Amino acid sequence: MTKTPTYYELQAFLCTIPSISWGGCGIAALVLYDAAVREDLNPKIIYTYSDTLLAYGCLFENNQLFMKGKQEHADACSHIVLEINGQWYDCMGVYNKDRKSHEATREHLVNSVIHGNWNDEFDRGKQLPVIKKFVGYNALITN
């Protein structure tokens, strides 16, 4: 059996994935969240929105509607991070808290990664199998 990577091993690995922060941040947040839960770090999933993206408006509103059960699918956002001990983190490390944001559930995140309109700079077809092999499971499968 393969050893499950720790949160910090996973964070270091994800930094090597091309364009992980440009369309792959939700996938990175998902596997980091799972590792943080396993390690009792009590993470929260945080969706952030840049002022530029808020000007378009629909992504924030779509996610709010999804959380209220008024929309079937969640949407993308500017960036997804984890909050641990009051600090925000992505795979690159500490992330600036200076943005509009909201907390989301793991289920919201999975739905968003599957159905959201994410930046296609991140090559999902190529990188998801690499991430799956490293973490040892398909994080997008929900039970």
Q: What is the pLDDT of residue 91?
A: 92
User: Quick one: pLDDT at residue 136?
Assistant: 92
> Is the Cα dihedral 67, 69, 74, 78 positive or negative?
negative
Residue by residue, DSSP assigns 50-101 as: -HHHHHH-HHHHHHHHHHTTSSSS----SEEEEEETTEEEETTEE----SEE
According to the model, what pLDDT value does residue 58 have?
Answer: 85
Distances in whole angstroms, Cα of residue 81 to Cα of each of 27, 71, 90, 120, 143: 10, 23, 5, 19, 23
Res 48: pLDDT:
94
Q: How much is the pLDDT for 54? A: 61
pLDDT at 143: 44
Chunk the chain into consecutive blocks of 10 residues (it has 143) and report each block's average pLDDT, rounded to whole numbers. Answer: 85 96 96 97 95 73 94 94 97 89 96 93 95 92 59
